[in-house]
């Protein structure tokens, strides 16, 4: 996970897109409830905007790349 510095978050792009829970669920092909569960468990970092969550696109990319697997023989 990125660390905070005086100038903001290190390792994240300033123009990083914020995605809704529905957009993340669509990208991952899971339900909204699964995304909420990942956020609640701390597996997927998210920002709270009012009553809604927003997830940085880079955090989704990191989450998915950390869980990718290599298929043997391919």
Domain presence at residue 8: no
d(CA 64, CA 62): 5
**Which domain range does residue 52 map to?**
16-58
Domain count of the chain? 1
Answer for the pair 55, 46: CB distance below 8 angstroms, yes or no. yes
Q: Does pLDDT of 22 surpass 60?
A: yes
Terminal Cα distance for the chain, rounded? 30
What's the predicted TM-score (pTM) here?
A: 0.76
Task: Give the pLDDT score at 73.
Answer: 81
Domain presence at residue 74: no
3-state secondary structure the chain: CCCEECCEECCCCCCCCEEEHHHHHHHHCCCHHHHHHHHHCCCCCCEEECCEEEEEHHHHHHHHHHCCCCCCCC
Domain presence at residue 68: no
Over residues 31-68, the pLDDT tens digits come to: 999 999 999 999 999 999 999 999 999 999 999 999 98
Task: Give the pLDDT score at 7.
Answer: 43
């Amino acid at each position: 996970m990125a660390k905070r510095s005086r100038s903001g978050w290190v390792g994240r792009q300033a123009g990083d897109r914020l995605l809704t829970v529905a957009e993340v669920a669509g990208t991952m092909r899971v339900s909204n409830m699964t995304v909420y569960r990942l956020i609640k468990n701390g597996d997927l970092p998210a920002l709270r905007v009012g009553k809604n969550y927003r997830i940085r696109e880079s955090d989704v990319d990191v989450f998915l790349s950390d869980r990718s697997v290599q298929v043997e023989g391919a």
